[in-house]
Structure 1
Amino acid sequence: LKQIGLALHNYNDTHRCLPPGGTIREDDTAMQGWIAMMMPFLDASPYYSWLDFNDSWQSTSNRYVFDQRLPVVLVPGVEQHFTDSGFGLTQIMGNPNLLHRNSDVTFEEMTNGTSFTWLAGEVTGDFQPWCYPFNWR
């Protein structure tokens, strides 16, 4: 979780906001999730450069990247790393008040401050693909 927190802070330093929890087009096409947006800050830049952000997370053009296992978004000791259809999983979910549909929340909007606000946390079940645009609870 420390790496995720640092990556969120580095994303904020670069973009002046947190990543959107998920990018959803006006026609309701679900594109990518917040973890995909943070890949350059999670030592996954090569995968990030292969993504087609004009295509959805389920598209064949993005499938190779989203089938990857990303250790940084896995919880040690949890053995489930892939969906039945092959997508790489995560056991990390974002705070739905900060990382949600097409969001661009800034640290200044966190009235309790960043020290008292959780950005992401581990979950114990119902794991989702790390690229899923609705990875928040």
Structure 2
Amino acid sequence: MRVVIQRSKQASVTVDGKVTGAIDSGYVLLVGLTHTDTLEDVRYVAKKVAEIRLWEDDQGKMNRSIVEHGGDILSVSQFTLYGDTRKGRRPSFIEAARPEAALPLWESFNEELKAFGLHVETGIFGEMMDVALINDGPVTVIVESKPKE
């Protein structure tokens, strides 16, 4: 599982001209799932997202989590995070989870985030989406699940 976290001042997702999710201060999460991901991966990454310290404390150091800061989540499913570009000019998406496996894992991921007390807005799985973002910082990091043994 791979998640790109973008700290945002404001973000939204629009599908067919209709806003499906919008937040002010918080994280935009681009969520990629691979065919070997499990609920254990989902729980690990959700905990990491909720607890990673990307918000400034009173001394201006990134020392606070989104839970401590008080922000929202905009979660966007993005299979292209598993695009392999090492060969040729067209990415291979063979490592991305099939929709029937990815959708329930993405939904579980969003529920895990809610269990941390976070408000979660979403795009629509499998749809073409317009994502608007004012990146705060800019702060962008990638979180991945533990390597499989």
TM range (shorter): under 0.3
Query: Which structure has greater strand proportion?
Result: 2
Query: Which structure has greater helix proportion?
Result: 1
TM-score with structure 2 length normalisation?
Answer: 0.21
Task: Name the larger-Rg structure.
Answer: 2
